[in-house]
A = this chain, B = another copy of it.
Amino acid sequence: MPRRVDVYDTTLRDGSQREGLSLTVDDKLRVAEQLDHLGVHYIEGGWPGANPKDDEFFQRAPMELSLGTATLVAFGSTRRARGRADDDEILRRLLKAETSTVCIVAKAWDYHVIEALRTDLDEAVRMVSDSVEFLHSEGRTVFLDAEHFFDGYRRNPEFSLRVLRAAEDAGAEALVLCDTNGGSLPHEAERIVKEVVPRFESAIGVHFHDDGGCAVANTLAGVRMGATQVQGCINGYGERTGNANLCTIVPDLTLKMGVETIPVDRLERLMPVAHHVAELVNIVPDPQQPYVGASAFAHKAGLHTSALARARDAYEHVNPDLVGNGTRFVVSELSGRSTLQFKAQELGLEVDGAALGGVLERLKELEHRGYHFEAADGSLELLMRGAGGWEQGFFRLESFRVITEQREDGRFVTEATIKVHVGDERIVATAEGNGPVNALDAAVRQAIGPSHPELANLHLTDYKVRVLDTAKGTGAVTRVLIDSTDGERSWSTIGVSENIIEASWQALADSIVYGLLHQGEGEGGNGRTGRSGDGRL
Contacts and interface: CB of A to CB of B under 8 A. Distances in A.
A213 B252 contact: yes
B288 A185 contact: no
Given A186-B186, A212-B216, A463-B470, 20 more contacts: A17-B301, A18-B295, A18-B300, A26-B470, A115-B307, A116-B311, A148-B314, A181-B315, A181-B316, A185-B220, A185-B256, A213-B248, A214-B252, A217-B218, A241-B288, A404-B499, A412-B502, A434-B474, A461-B471, A461-B473
Stoichiometry, copies per complex: 2
B317 A245 contact: no
A216 B210 CA distance: 11
Contacts of A22: 332, 367, 372
Interface in A198-235: 210-214, 216-218, 220-221, 224
A517 interface: no
Given A213-B245, A221-B186, A404-B401, A50 B334 contact: yes
A242 interface: yes
A290 interface: yes
A404 B403 CA distance: 6
Contacts of A290: 210-213, 241
Interface residues of A, number: 125
B19 A474 contact: no
Interface in A428-453: 433-438, 441
Contacts of A20: 287, 295, 372, 374-375
Nearest to A481: B20
Question: Which 6 A-B pairs rank lowest in CB-CB distance, beginning with the nearest?
Answer: A183-B317, A217-B217, A460-B473, A213-B248, A465-B465, A116-B307
Nearest to A184: B317
Contacts of A115: 307, 310-311, 314
